Amino acid sequence: MGADDFTIELDGLTKSFPDVRAVDRLSFKVARGEIFGLVGPDGAGKTTTMRMLAGVLAPDAGSARVAGYDMTRDPEGAKQHISYMPQRFGLYEELTVDENIRFYADLFGVARAERETRAAELLQAAGMVEFRSRLAGKLSGGMKQKLGLVCALVHTPEVILLDEPTNGVDPVSRRDFWRILYTLLDQGVTILTSTAYLDEAERCHRVALLHEGRMLFCDTPENLKGNLDGAVVSVVCAEPRPVKELISGMEGISTMMIVGDGLHLVVREPGRMIPELRARIAAAGLEVDSVEEVAPSIEDLFVEAVQKKKGEKP
Amino acid sequence: MNGQPQAVVVQDLVKRFGDFTAVDNISFEASRGEIFGFLGPNGAGKSTTIRILCGLLHPTSGKALVAGVDVAREPERVRQNIGYMSQKFSLYNDLKVIENLRFFAGMYGVNQADAAERIAWAVDMAGLTGREHLLTGTLAAGWKQRLALGCAVLHRPPIVFLDEPTSGVDPISRRLFWELIHRMADEGVTVFVTTHYMDEAEYCNRLVLIDRGRIVASGSPLELKLKSMEGDLLLVECDQVGKALELLQEAPGVTDAAIFGHALHLVVPDAERAIPEVKSYLGERRIAVSRIERIRPTLEDVFVSLTSLKGRREKEQA
């Protein structure tokens, strides 16, 4: 890929606040047409990174290029190519859905003919057509988030920055949201989104996991799966506690967790371990419904990757 | 459980606001020591139900018993029997850890003799030993969450309500938190969880899914995945996923399609018949399929298929 194919480039980006280094030497590149996810807990530095990329906060050190503009030297030049949706998007609660969209279209200088078709498409995709004349203040949380996205996307930017756009949004609306984002990718848009929902990482082309301002790793969800040493085994049973105690000494089990319908284990050699587990549990007279390999969740993969990383750098 | 009173009993519960029915005749029970998950889309009636169970809202009709107390008749007594913790739990950030604990012990009316012991217990449980005098605002999210849990159960309530308890917490702290919750449940505490996070739902023993004020499914996470979805789920890996998604949404025989990075999830009535059909449908439109197979649905697939699809179909029929 040539240099022009990266629409977002961070190099050693750093920002400190009086009592904390919020972003610590962050470097990564996002290619045109990619959805890149910043994942991490509260306080990891996601919002600070977003704000620097949007040109509303100056970094202490390092550089950021967005849509070809150096964000420290020419943040104003970049702004018309960026759409930034902060966590609290400024919707006017006393205006209707349509009026909010019109307001943002004016702000972004979108031509009248274009805005009508675009708004109609976006509202359709968001499942909000029948709410066009409702006051924004009367919408549910999920609907408000979707309206924020519609307003942010009423112009066609090169780069879209979304700060935890699906926070508090139910799974149905979240799917609407992602559907809209994917249709934009086909138009060559680049999307950087942050989320605290681990399962959303699965929907991104690549993800970076942030922790206390640093990037722990950055990879595709598929490659993350290759990181798992072994497999996740589900033991379905009504009384997981005694099973956990029974097998806790067994070699080859790296993680044990009680979940809603039993136990989840990470084991090194599932082919050998599963029959061994069954035999051990049966010999102890404990009752289980099944012992089988299941697909690892993205959380399993994160935990594994974080633990591995810790092992490398003690 | 035999002979033991249920921790939560909801019978034919209805709540109307004007001509809008927020809760439409629902019934369910949660046993002692159960981790019970209450799921549903925004506006499904979840919060209304929780507010009724906490004695904050009077039901229009029907009955709700929490720890044996009728919530409509004795709302104050209900509140002594429950703990409540939400994602935006109001810990005081400018108070020290120990001051927050003392404050909540006072609020919940824990008597002096008990308070010291309960506070020591909460500090230990949250892993905050040695950090008692730190300002709460300076704690990482995982610790705050465990402190919030400690504050919510200082008065030893038999039932705890948790609202998206681990949102914004790192994956390792999150596992620690659920380990604590499962231990509390082992000791007989009933845990009532509401959430939009399907990975939180996985930690529940039993789930009830509500939509438009009605219960649409219930069972263990595994039962829901195996039994409650109408049709089969296919995983499809192909090139031009964005275009494939658009095409498949319109394709005959596809009930729903969603995108996951480089792959699609399709809901179809019958996997065996659909696999060759989807392949040739995409092939005819010059999209090459590299992988297509039936997979076990995730809780999110179940959730979406039971709520949005049903709604869509009802709308079409209307």
Residue B4 has pLDDT above 70, yes or no: no
CATH code, B252? 3.30.70.100
Give the pair of three-digit tokens for residue A58.
Answer: 């100056």
Kindly report the nearest CA distance between residue B109 and chain A, in angstroms.
Answer: 32
Residues of B in contact with A42 (CB under 8 A): 141, 168-169
Which of A105-114, B38-47, B95-104 is predicted most confidently?
B95-104
How far apart are alpha carbons B160 and B137 in whole angstroms? 24
**Residue A301 or A122, more confident:** A122
Q: What is residue A312's predicted lDDT score, i.e. its pLDDT? A: 60
Q: Count up the domains in chain B and report the number.
A: 1
Mean pLDDT computed over A1-21: 86
% of chain A with per-residue pLDDT over 70: 97
- The rounded mean pLDDT for chain B is 90
> DSSP state, B56?
S
Q: Which listed CATH number (3.50.50.60, 3.30.460.10, 3.40.50.300, 3.40.640.10) goes with A3-220?
A: 3.40.50.300
Taking each helix axis as running N to C, give the angle between helix A298-312 and helix B171-186, from 0 to 180 degrees, rounded to the nearest 10.
120
Question: From the candidates B42, B181, B198, B211, which should be mutated to test the interface with A, based on the most A CB atoms within 10 A?
Answer: B42
Q: How far is CA A37 from CA A199, A205, A306, B187, B211, in A?
A: 11, 8, 17, 40, 30
Question: From the candidates A258, A264, A265, which should be mutated to test the interface with B, based on the most B CB atoms within 10 A?
Answer: A258
Which of A42, A169, A175 faces B196 most closely, judged by CB atoms? A169
B317 part of a folded domain: no
Taking each helix axis as running N to C, give the angle between helix A171-185 and helix A112-125, from 0 to 180 degrees, rounded to the nearest 10.
140
Task: Give the pLDDT band of residue B1 (cuts 50, 70, 90).
Answer: very low
Domain that holds residue B266: 230-296
Task: Give the pLDDT band of residue B2 (cuts 50, 70, 90).
Answer: very low
B248 part of a folded domain: yes
What pLDDT, in 10s, does the model give residues B166-176? 888 888 888 88
Kindly report the nearest CA distance between residue A18 and chain B, in angstroms.
Answer: 13
pTM: 0.87
For chain A, domain boundaries? 3-220, 229-295
B76 part of a folded domain: no
With a threshold of 0.90, tell me whether the complex ipTM lies above it. Answer: no
Least confident of A215-229, B27-41, B218-232: A215-229
Residue A313 has pLDDT above 60, yes or no: no
Nearest to A190 by CA among A102, A88, A77, A68: A68
Q: What is residue B312's predicted lDDT score, i.e. its pLDDT? A: 52
B237 part of a folded domain: yes
Q: What is residue A314's predicted lDDT score, i.e. its pLDDT? A: 39
Residue B318 has pLDDT above 50, yes or no: no
% of chain B with per-residue pLDDT over 90: 66
Q: Which listed CATH number (3.90.1150, 3.30.70, 3.90.79, 3.40.1000) goes with A229-295?
A: 3.30.70
**Between A and B, how many residue pairs show a Cβ–Cβ distance under 8 A?**
129
How far apart are alpha carbons A173 and A184 in whole angstroms? 17
% of chain A with per-residue pLDDT over 90: 54
Mean pLDDT computed over A202-214: 90
How far apart are alpha carbons B285 and B200 in whole angstroms? 39
